[in-house]
Structure 1
Amino acid sequence: MAQQAGIPKRIEKETLKLSQEPPPGINAQPDSGNYRYFKVLMEGPEGTPYQDGLYHLELFLPEGYPMEPPKVRFLTKIYHPNIDKLGRICLDVLKDKWSPALQIRTVLLSIQALLSSPEPDDPLDTSVADHFKQNKRDAENVAREWNRTYACKS
């Protein structure tokens, strides 16, 4: 990928690494018209209610990146206590635990890990979190149903 005018070296390096060594189960491509905007496809982790799902996310690098975290949200509907109905994600590395040492790759792997281990005690969607706390099996069944309905590759 040739250096495009105005692309910060850091973003260029991360973008190149994402295309050459994609994290397992994750594909992140920059938009052709905006190098700060990425279209992300994430496979639901095996052994979770999200298994076999293919989730669309968008990731945006703000002007302040890497001093401020990327903005990431799910575009595919998902039933998860740490992801709200608008697709916003409650994850420490996207907020107070962000560090410029982290990269797009780290953030995406952290989101994938969050799918494997929901944190109902630090919820973004309290009704989903309550469901997970009161009846985890039933909540996981709903998550599987949403996965089949909204995220499954047909």
Structure 2
Amino acid sequence: MSSTNMMATFRLKQDYIKLKQNPIPNILAEPNPADILEWFFVLIGPKDTPYEGGMYLGKLIFPSEFPFKPPSIYMITPTGRFETDTPLCLSVSDFHPETWNPAWTLSSVLIGLLSFLLESTVGSVDMSDEKRRKLVVESFKFNLNNSNFCQLFPELVQVAQDELDSREAHQVGHTASDLEEDDELEPYSPLIGVLPHICFVVGLLALPFMLKYVWK
């Protein structure tokens, strides 16, 4: 192992200890057990935001020169904010090495990323808040089918499944209520469809009597 790689490993282990001692609200992160330079993280949408409750999986790739060079940052779960599976252009990523500060830690990078997620002026995907809220539900489905999410964040797996079941049940209940309201507002009668035909037949039957009356 090179000296730079040893330094990166030592620093990331220290950052991991600090992260466990001082957890960041709405953020979880775990290293790849086979490669400490590769990390996976989950951003949990803060309350009172379009992302509220959503779970967004992402990945950090640290260079062997870390902390003197910044990591690459990728989003895996669609957020409606950033492109997925492509390096993000952020001041805390390797897209802008000139803005990188070696004093920044793993926690600094993740906090900065969450801030960028919530800012309305940053990001390459332009979506409405309503569409982002729909992606909250989709995030649960997406993550439950992702092996890294299930293996590294088992404490979130059941939470994601419960949230998915709850929101889908709420949606089904809401749809059923709408249908009931429509039925109340517009009651249906089977006579409505055949009424024109009845009128036509009655008119034909009455026609001879009308002609007889007119002839007289």
Query: Match for residue 78 of structure 2?
Result: 77
Question: In the alignment, what sits opposite 2:108?
Answer: 106
- Larger fraction in helix: 2
Q: Which has the higher strand share?
A: 1
* Match status 1:66 vs 2:67: yes
3-state SS in 2 of match to 1:113: helix
**Does structure 1 residue 140 correspond to structure 2 residue 142?**
no
Normalised by the length of structure 2, the TM-score is 0.56
TM-score (normalised: structure 1): 0.77
Looking at structure 1, the residues matched to 140 and 70 of structure 2 have their Cα atoms a distance apart, in angstroms, of: 26
Q: Residue in 2 aligned with 1:3? A: none
Please name the residue that 2:45 is paired with: 44
Q: Hey, what does 2:90 align to over in structure 1?
A: 91
Q: Distance in 2 between matches of 1:60 and 1:73?
A: 8
Q: In 2, Cα distance between the equivalents of 1:150 and 1:77?
A: 7
* Compared CA separation, residues 86 and 12, structure 1 to 2 (3 A): closer
| SS, match of residue 108 in structure 1 | helix
> C-alpha displacement at 1:28, in angstroms?
0.8
Q: Give the CA deviation at 1:87.
A: 5.0
| Gap regions ≥5 residues in structure 2 | 1-5, 142-159, 165-216
2:124 aligned residue: 124
The answer as to whether partners of 1:43 and 1:51 remain within 8 angstroms in 2 is yes
Q: Partners of 1:20 and 1:87 in 2: how far apart?
A: 31
After superposition, give the CA deviation of every residue in 1:31-85 in whole Å (9 maximum; x if it has no partner): 11111111212211221111100111111211121111111211101101xx114
How many aligned positions are there?
135
Structure 1 Cα separation of the partners of residues 84 and 32 of structure 2 = 24
Matched, 1:150 2:152: no
Alpha-carbon distance change, 33 to 85 in structure 1, aligned in 2, over 3 angstroms: closer
**Contact 2:76/2:84 (CA < 8 Å) preserved in 1?**
no
CA distance in 2 between partners of 1:64 and 1:124 (Å): 29
CA distance, structure 1, for counterparts of residue 86 and residue 56 of structure 2? 11
When Rg is computed on C-alpha atoms for both structures, the one with the higher figure is 2
Question: Which sections of structure 1, spanning at least 5 residues, go unmatched?
Answer: 1-5, 132-138
* Paired residues of 2:9 and 2:36 also in contact (CA < 8 A): no
For residues 60 and 18 of structure 1, the distance between their equivalents in structure 2, rounded to whole angstroms, comes to: 17
